[in-house]
C-alpha cells in the first residue's frame, strides 16, 4: 500500500466518522474534548484532584460515543468511560434548537 493509498483510506474513514457523528450528536447532551479523544456523552462528572502539587482531572462519562477512526462502528458506543488527564479538558453542553 502506497502512502497515497493510505492517505486516501484515512480520508475516507474520517469522512465516514464525520457522517456518523452528524447522525448521532442529537442523541447526546455533552461534548467532551481531551488531549487524546473527543466524546459525546449524556452524563459527565468531572473532579479536579491534586497529586504532589500538580492538578489533574478525573472524568466519568456515561452513555457515550467516542470519535475514534480505529474502532468499528458499534464499538464507538460505550456505556461508561473514565478519563484521567493532566491536560486541558473542555466540556460543553449541547444546545438544542427547538
pLDDT < 70 regions, the chain: 98
pLDDT in tens, 4-17: 988 898 899 999 99
Query: Residue 31 burial by CB count (10 A; 0-12/13-18/19+): exposed, middle or buried?
Result: middle
In the chain, domain spans: 3-93
For residue 67, the model assigns a pLDDT of: 95
Amino acid at each position: 500500500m502506497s502512502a497515497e493509498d493510505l492517505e486516501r483510506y484515512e480520508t475516507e474513514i474520517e469522512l465516514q466518522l464525520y457522517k456518523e457523528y452528524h447522525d448521532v450528536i442529537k442523541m447526546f447532551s455533552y461534548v467532551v474534548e481531551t488531549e487524546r479523544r473527543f466524546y459525546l456523552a449524556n452524563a459527565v462528572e468531572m473532579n479536579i484532584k491534586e497529586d504532589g502539587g500538580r492538578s489533574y482531572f478525573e472524568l466519568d462519562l456515561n452513555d457515550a460515543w467516542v470519535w475514534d477512526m480505529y474502532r468499528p462502528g458499534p464499538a464507538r458506543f460505550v456505556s461508561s468511560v473514565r478519563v484521567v488527564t493532566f491536560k486541558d479538558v473542555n466540556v460543553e453542553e449541547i444546545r438544542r434548537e427547538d
